A and B are shown apart, each in its own frame.
Chain A
């Protein structure tokens, strides 16, 4: 890693008052969103997306990223105190976190999860700093065929890896791609699927899709449910926060293991913090001397997963920034945000906008430090947040969604579109169709078409180029293997002996 003037410039940007302010806003918002069950970082990032359009792109990105990794700190709070996860990735933390709270050791649990979250995040940031430039350099050798293939791999991975039904995941991706094609085709200038309808000429708004599919759909899933008033454990005293010495060692080791797992998993497209946390928990349980402790308040059961989920969200920036391949729905929204600002993530990004990249990385350090401060002394504040009733919260969310969607293009049509996607997202959630692949397909689909056409054009119509170039061929093979492996059980599904 060369310490370049760009790096220094980037770090300076991150320390500017504006950047510090929005970094703080981002992580604080992320923490709140993470704590509250029913709103996730994806919905929050989507909602704040329009507000970044009027800001400097680096600052906007710093804030949105802050929401994302900040939420991983807050998520465990509800898990520990309420036995309800604030974010999906914090679900594992319920298993050993809540029992700890029941034993009167909520303070210890909260303290440990915060520290291990910080460790996880920090290690991943170091890896980001080291690897992203390397990956970007490798990827500079990418031509259009390689871009096509890696985007294809990203989509295949996202739709088959983390879902219950890979088949539905693939369907979701394909639908997303088709929706992304609405609008003017760059190559020919022809309008596709617009039916002469003016608002559709520029295509469907990304913000409408994201907010509808994730924000509105989530609200639709949550309203009307009977809110069970679970016992909130509110007795959290600062003095009772430090763990026992014996536990400290175990917790730290688990955190290191979790960080490693999280960093690796996070860098993969399609695998996110939830998977990272799950794998970390499974690992801890397997290597523990006394696995029966798990589920009753084993400190490794919360420190490993929490380190893993924080590491994974920081590591997810590696493929997103250096390759332009978002590994996660939130990353996809961030990618969309960058594209709207006119910045194209990918290997060129590190070369053309090093200040933005290093500014972002620096902001990660700053943000994680802010979060450390926010989560330890201010923990009492967040506990109060948990008491806001949902029926006040969700109309406010709807308000932000509507304003946000409208403000992008001053278009009422976009509001209706968001509503439509909200309904779609709701039914998809109910029927186990994964929604993130749809967004990924929506963003990457048109880009893939572009790269494919360009690859074919440059090769003079000789399509072998996709198979003869080594990187291309490898990526295609991996994609094919992934599909095959994911769909192997299909024969069983058909109930036919094939």
Chain B
């Protein structure tokens, strides 16, 4: 039996923590009985279920390590997420043109072969496309540019 993969254990533990959190919070709401459920009942049961299953997964992962892909692509992950979060941050402050450019440029960094011109041209095309389809065509309330 090999060594259990640490990331599996961490994940199971996180779920366990999550389940416990749900249970703790649920106790703050009225629980009631099974026949007359209060707002806290269902979350409580669900949280307990999560905690129990997470515990079982934790134990089984420990005793019988599973093979899973542990090759985490951190670089790609971080760049894409930064791109998305930046979009979120910029879109209401500066309008969606700026946000789109930021998204595309940052997101493109995730792939090793970053080509600035390609990114800029893509951004431009997407902005035009987005404008015509989403704002003009579908009347979505989006701000193009904001100062």
Min C-beta distance of B57 to chain A, whole Å: 6
How far is A432 from B64 in the complex, measured between Cα atoms in Å?
A: 15
Known contacts A395-B122, A406-B91; is A167 also within 8 Å of B69 by CB? no
How far is A412 from B89 in the complex, measured between Cα atoms in Å?
A: 7
Q: Which residues of A contact B (CB under 8 A)?
A: 50-51, 54, 165, 167-168, 170-171, 174-175, 177-178, 181, 185, 187-188, 190, 192-193, 216, 219-221, 223-225, 390-392, 394-396, 398-399, 401-403, 406-407, 410, 412, 415-416, 418-419, 422-423, 426-427, 430-433, 445, 449, 452-453, 456-457, 461-463, 490, 493-495
Known contacts A220-B80, A430-B69; is A54 also within 8 Å of B122 by CB? no
How far is A236 from B108 in the complex, measured between Cα atoms in Å?
A: 33
What total of chain B residues lie within 8 Å of the partner, measured CB to CB? Answer: 73
For B96, list chain A residues within 8 Å (CB).
403
How far is A394 from B35 in the complex, measured between Cα atoms in Å?
A: 50
For A192, list chain B residues within 8 Å (CB).
29, 39, 43
Min C-beta distance of B48 to chain A, whole Å: 9
Is the beta-carbon distance between B37 and A452 smaller than 8 angstroms?
Answer: yes
For A463, list chain B residues within 8 Å (CB).
34-35
How far is A101 from B83 in the complex, measured between Cα atoms in Å?
A: 40
Is the beta-carbon distance between B64 and A493 smaller than 8 angstroms?
Answer: yes
How far is A394 from B43 in the complex, measured between Cα atoms in Å?
A: 37
A-B contact pairs, 24 of them (CB 8 A): A171-B15, A171-B57, A178-B19, A178-B50, A190-B29, A221-B73, A223-B110, A223-B111, A224-B75, A224-B110, A398-B80, A398-B104, A399-B104, A402-B87, A403-B134, A415-B85, A415-B87, A423-B77, A427-B11, A431-B8, A449-B37, A452-B37, A494-B60, A495-B63
How far is A403 from B134 in the complex, measured between Cα atoms in Å?
A: 9
Overall SS of chain A's interface: helix
For B38, list chain A residues within 8 Å (CB).
188
Is the beta-carbon distance between B107 and A51 smaller than 8 angstroms?
Answer: no
For B11, list chain A residues within 8 Å (CB).
427, 431, 433
Whether B36 is near chain A, meaning CB under 8 Å from some CB there, is yes
For A430, list chain B residues within 8 Å (CB).
7, 68-70, 72
Is the beta-carbon distance between B88 and A223 smaller than 8 angstroms?
Answer: no
Is the beta-carbon distance between A461 and B36 smaller than 8 angstroms?
Answer: yes
